Structure 1
Amino acid sequence: MNKKTWHNLALGASALTLLTVSACGSGDGGSQDRNPKQGASPAISVIPGSAGSPPAVSSSAGRFTVHTDDKLGPVVSDARGMTVYVFDKDTTPGTSACEGACAKDWPAVPADRATASPGLNQDLLGSLTRPDGTRQLTLAGKPLYYYAKDTKPKETSGQNIGGVWHAAAPDGWKSGVPRPALGVLNDPKLGPILQDGNGRTLYLFTKDTPWPMKTACGTACLATWTPTGLVSEADAKAAGLPAKTLFPFTTANGSRQESFNCWPGYTFKGDTQPGLTGGQNVGGVWFAIKANIKKIDRGATVPAAKG
């Protein structure tokens, strides 16, 4: 082999080596980065719908967000903007009542790698195992679904179908449906806690004085914390509380405020959506109010949910 032939063979080998590195390396264009198991974008599967419609189900959940619908208010959607729904017939914890033909029209939202954006409480995301072994995403214990005929982001064509399907609110409530004046949020960390008629978490302030009720939340404090309005005995009973839990009182400025076992209630202005608990343990003195107040003793027992 002469010197010129040897030189040409060496150049060819070098080019082959560079080609191999470009195709199989671990750089930005490498095959490892396209593997969903390595954290890249997952594969998408299409559910029934019109031909050529955008995919409505992905192999993993992705990041969930909250957007405001002009008619329904706050609505939860997945990473691609597809609306997710709750089903009134899901009444048994840890199970889905939508199987077989139902699941074709209402595919389960997958739970794998589900995360929450600001405005959605990550602690409320959970999962259940369906009969086929797949994991379905839950929100405050409510199974979540897609609707097969939703073909574009933020579409809500599944709203109120059969009177039992509703777009999911950020706390698992039904978007577009009136809320009770006093609600209960099943928080996995804090347990059942109280909500006001807008779905905002109710808090107590341990610096307040129970019986006779006196608030320690002055002008600066009130810039962040809003006193709870009055609720009726019927509202309390609907939330599972005995009527004697309520102790309405008149504040120093003459306004009326509700208290629970003599502890004045407040909402936190940082909780911009239903289901958030951003006021929990602020300064070590603010705590969500338990929804299962069992002992009524004029404030001797503090109904603080501390997790």
Structure 2
Amino acid sequence: MTIRRRLTGAALVLAAVALAGCSPAIGGAGQPVPPGDSVQWVSGNAEGNGAEPGTGDLAAAAGSSDRESTKWVQLSVREAGSLAPVVANGAGLTLYRFDKDGSSPSKSSCTGTCAETWPPVLVAPGGRIFLDGLDRSTVGLVQRPDGMLQVTIGGWPVYRYSKDKRDGDTNGQGSGGTWFGIGPDGKKAQDAKKQPGVAIVYDGKSLYGQAQGVYGPGCRDLPRPGTGASIRVLGVPIRIWSGRGCTGDSAGIEGNATDLSEIKFAGRVASIRFADPATQAGRGDSVIVYDDKNFDGDMQGTSGPGCQDLPRPGAGSSMRVKGGEVEVWSGADCTGDHTRVDGEASDLSAIGFDDRIASVKFGVSES
């Protein structure tokens, strides 16, 4: 088994075909399956939990026997194409939901030739479901008309698309106006560029390892608080918090933060607040400060409103400002020497502020 380094963090998931004639009747066709002992729920990815190579999702992708392919399923949060966050399977294949199904109660209406084009994600009774960044409360099972157990997310039965062949394919997105990639909460996955912010948090540094994702607006708690070592941010800037409900210590981030230990937040992120997209124009609502000139080296970020101290004061040689003009200060709490920066400053020594910025004031008025 392999772990893909793309924006998936860990990437082994689910995509199973049927275990023909072997599934007992549990609650009746089309009925949600009580959690009970019908399957084993496991936090983390398949590889890390000792799943047998060549089985489960990987067997399904290779066209192996039904018995092998339904042994386990992994659900991973990732980015695929323009969609983020979206759930993918162990072969890196995007998973989908169907508008003609039901979510409350769960019901699958894709059978026959439909199920050939859109193979349902199945797991055998007693099989394992690996939750790689998803909240257990959002994942369930429903019994299909043929008696097989199909995985659900947010109540929606989950499928693969037969024309998706490679890691990250999203060829089924929008098909027939009824098929859409599924997000970790069961809602339709959205184009990241059109969303009010997306954050994918990875357990390892450099955007690697098991992943979990949330999207704005407002404050969002992570499904697995206190496990992140790096973050990818799409769209608006964010502020990460050490407590749920956006409480406790905080730090601002825009873009990628490949090592949260640099801002003393490794293993500490519990919730994320997304900036309001309506405030991002003309206010200078976020900055990224780079350790080296020309926007190179390690980086740190912060966002407004008001005065914000940098996590690592005195470590910046270049910076980018999103939105409008800000004031940079040599002392904490916006004290000491200061000057204004608008847009990009590729060499802070040109304005006498190389390795001197300690705090930033947002929302400054024009003069």
Fold conserved between structures, TM > 0.5: no
**Which one has a larger percent strand, Structure 1 or Structure 2?**
2
Q: Report the TM-score when normalising by structure 2.
A: 0.37
**Which one has a larger percent helix, Structure 1 or Structure 2?**
1
Structure with max Cα Rg: 1
Q: Report the TM-score when normalising by structure 1.
A: 0.44
